[in-house]
Amino acid sequence: MNHLQPDQIEELRQELQRQLRTLERSGSITSQAAAPVELDQTSVGRLSRMDSLQNQSLSRNLQERKDTRAAMVRSALDRMEKGTYGVCVSCGGEIPFRRLYIFPEAELCSTCAGAF
């Protein structure tokens, strides 16, 4: 983290914490929406059942994406605590502040990220 100034690190830490709070708040709402759909086969039409199942699948996928993003944000905060934040986990090079400003949970430099 030698290439990042203390004020830059603090700005990025605050942004990561804000993102994590937002993800955690929205995650609890989404998990309720992703609860299994109970279908009464006699009272609900076939299209309504299909819509309910599709909505359930979309909610589950959204929750999985939020969980993945939250894990990435937590990982970035852990790297900050360990003093390895801003260092590419692949090549060991520096991740520029402008990349971290846009994508604060980035663990790869632009070159290594482009290789995937």
Q: How many angstroms separate the CA atoms of 9 and 104, rounded?
A: 10
CA torsion through residues 62, 63, 69, 73, sign: positive
Average pLDDT over the chain reads 86
pLDDT band at 3 (very low <50, low <70, confident <90, very high): very high
91 neighbors 112 (Cβ within 8 angstroms): yes
User: How confident is the model over 8-37, as pLDDT tens digits?
Assistant: 999 999 999 999 999 999 876 544 545 555
- Of residues 115 and 71, the one with the higher pLDDT is 71
Judged against a pLDDT cut of 60, whether residue 1 lies above it is answered with: yes
| Terminal Cα-to-Cα distance of the chain (whole angstroms) | 24
Q: How many angstroms separate the CA atoms of 8 and 5, rounded?
A: 5
Q: How many angstroms separate the CA atoms of 72 and 68, rounded?
A: 6
User: How confident is the model over 58-81, as pLDDT tens digits?
Assistant: 888 999 999 999 999 999 999 999
pTM confidence score: 0.75
